[in-house]
């Protein structure tokens, strides 16, 4: 696999061209355990999922700043990203404020519960299907 720097470098031109959307939505993203704004990635048909995964470290670090406990393992990704695509809306100071903490905690808990329920729901669905076929 390419190094972190190479992976960030690959997506840098696209991310540096992005501009803040005044109507951007913020949400909790499960895999990075972070807050992510809707204007922080280019359109889906212009990049690959595997290319964007390096941003999880950048998003995670920003969220750790919001929470007041910087996650050191993600700091290098954050610092390299700042050098490579400084104009990315993800670096806006207002997206690093502690005032997001409560929102993060609330959304994290909500999605965690829904995600946990997904497998249980699937198992119930399968059990019902088995019971139904046995009854026929």
CB of residue 85 vs another protein: minimum separation in angstroms?
A: 18
Two structure tokens written together for 94: 């207002």
Diameter over CA atoms, the chain: 65
Phi, psi of 45 (to 5 degrees): -80, 0
Contact 64, 71 (CB under 8 A): yes
**Interaction residues for another protein, span 18-47 (CB under 8 A):** 25, 27-34, 36, 38, 41, 44-45
Binding of another protein by 82 (CB under 8 A):
no
Neighbouring residues of 90: CB distance < 8 A, sequence distance ≥ 6: 15, 37, 40, 55, 58, 59, 62
Interface residue with another protein, options 77, 85, 95, 100 (CB under 8 A)? 77
For residue 26, the SS3 value is strand
Query: Mask 42-61, x = binds another protein (CB under 8 A)?
Result: --xx--xxx-xx--xx--x-
CB of residue 77 vs another protein: minimum separation in angstroms?
A: 7
CB of residue 58 vs another protein: minimum separation in angstroms?
A: 9
Contact 8, 77 (CB under 8 A): yes
Two structure tokens written together for 68: 């007041």
CB of residue 134 vs another protein: minimum separation in angstroms?
A: 19
**Binding stretches for another protein (CB under 8 A):** 4, 25, 27-34, 36, 38, 41, 44-45, 48-50, 52-53, 56-57, 60, 73-74, 77, 111-112, 114-115, 117-119, 121-122, 125-126
């Amino acid at each position: 696999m390419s190094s972190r720097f190479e992976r960030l470098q690959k997506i840098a031109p696209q991310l540096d061209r992005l501009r803040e959307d005044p109507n951007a939505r913020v949400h909790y993203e499960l895999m990075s355990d972070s807050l992510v704004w809707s204007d922080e990635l280019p359109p889906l048909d212009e990049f690959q999922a595997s290319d964007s995964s390096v941003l999880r470290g950048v998003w995670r670090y920003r969220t750790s700043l919001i929470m007041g406990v910087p996650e050191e393992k993600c700091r290098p990704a954050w610092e390299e990203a700042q050098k490579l695509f400084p104009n990315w809306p993800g670096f806006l100071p207002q997206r690093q404020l502690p005032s997001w903490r409560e929102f993060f905690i609330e959304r994290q808990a909500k999605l965690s519960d829904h995600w946990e329920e997904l497998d249980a729901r699937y198992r119930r669905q399968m059990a019902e299907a088995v019971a139904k076929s046995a009854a026929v």
